[in-house]
Structure 1
């Protein structure tokens, strides 16, 4: 499975997460993740990957899902949990919070994956981002800083 989409972000951030993994943030404020400690906590728990881009704007995102394990040439690798398999990949402008979740009008796509843990490899060249997802044993991260790509 692979494809391409374009996203316009005002938060300079791409995110990837299973909606069920962030249900506990639905009642929180819409910008809860703008607090670095909260963002890092959710990334390390494997609930959401927030990939900071450094600049707002229009990005082309090429994505793929593969069964084979990821290899180092596929980019920086991070891990997340997909308890329901309903995964959103797109602009963090639409991340769950403020009693809202991403929908068909969001700047991203929904992927229907098998529930489980996933590795997410990310490569960036200017405004083109490549994201590759693959099943993984790992579902959490041990990061000390926010993800910047």
Structure 2
């Protein structure tokens, strides 16, 4: 199991392959705060935005498996290099994540993954990655919250 802390002022955890959001590199840094834009990228499997309900410091655990799950999200991982951390670090305005607010980079085999996400406590979020042959799309109608 890997773990890391991160701090968010937008109450948001994001998980994405850096290659999946290169098309957003020149967008405004807050492009993702527009619900339609957020849902477009989540439903295309380019990113998982997870609303946490409160700002502050959180701990992440990347686990082999989870017994309980709050939400599952499909995620495209074309390069296999993922960022997991604060929403503020999402690609935009010419910048890509650097884990300045904590979080982590995770290397996986390229492919499509099903993310299982479980809030173990108010400040602890567990994530499991399972490679899948299903499509990388999602069908959310509202932003994801746990």
For the superposition of Structure 1 and Structure 2, which TM-score range results when normalised by the shorter chain? over 0.9
Whole-Å separation in 2 of the counterparts to 1:106 and 1:99: 18
Aligned counterpart for 1:146 among listed residues 128, 143, 146: 143
Matches within 5 A, 1:102-121: 102-121=97-116
**Which residue of 2 is the match for residue 60 of structure 1?**
59
In structure 2, do the counterparts of structure 1 residues 119 and 10 end up closer, same or farther at CA, with 3 Å as the change threshold? same
CA RMSD of aligned residues (A): 1.5
In structure 2, do the counterparts of structure 1 residues 104 and 53 end up closer, same or farther at CA, with 3 Å as the change threshold? closer
Matched, 1:9 2:14: no
Number of residue pairs matched by the alignment? 144
Whole-Å separation in 2 of the counterparts to 1:100 and 1:71: 33
Shift, 1:3, TM fit: 1.0
SS at match of 2:68: helix
The ranges of structure 1 where at least 4 consecutive aligned residues each deviate by more than 3 angstroms after the TM superposition are: none
Cα shift readout 1:80-130 (whole Å, capped 9, x = no counterpart): 100010111111110000100011534211111111000111111211111
Cα shift readout 1:41-99 (whole Å, capped 9, x = no counterpart): 000000000001111001111112x4xxx677333111110001011111111000010
List alignment gaps of at least 5 residues for structure 1: none
